Amino acid sequence: QHDKNGGVKFFKLISCEQSASMYDEVTINVYSVSGQFMFSQKTSNYREVLDNSDIARGIYLVEIVGGSETRSVKYVKTN
């Protein structure tokens, strides 16, 4: 199961994939639904898998920042 949003795909394990290499480096920020910062990771890979084992089940906002562009999607952790 995955969700597409502006060329970025999200899978069950917070896996982010850029369609083509949109930016040299992106920052992926994860926030709780209440806005609490959870963690961040910088990457230059077109595909990145984030370790979400330290966060509880729930709804999160995943923000991808590349260049002057920011994209956000909802992520639901179920296990």
- Each residue's pLDDT tens digit in the chain (79 positions)? 344 445 544 444 455 555 545 667 888 899 999 999 998 988 876 666 777 778 888 999 989 888 888 888 888 888 7
**What are the tokens at 52?**
């979400």
**Number of domains, the chain:** 1
| pLDDT for position 2 | 40
Residue (of 70, 73, 66, 67) closest to 31 by Cα position: 73
Per the structure, the complete domain to which residue 11 belongs is given by 3-77
Distances (CA, A) of 31 to 2, 71, 75: 19, 13, 10
Provide the sign of the torsion angle of the four alpha carbons 54, 36, 34, 5, taken in this order. Answer: negative
Gap between the Cα atoms of 67 and 7, Å rounded: 15
Task: Kindly report the CATH number assigned to the domain that includes residue 41.
Answer: 2.60.40.3080
Q: How far apart are the first and last CA of the chain?
A: 14
pLDDT at 69: 84
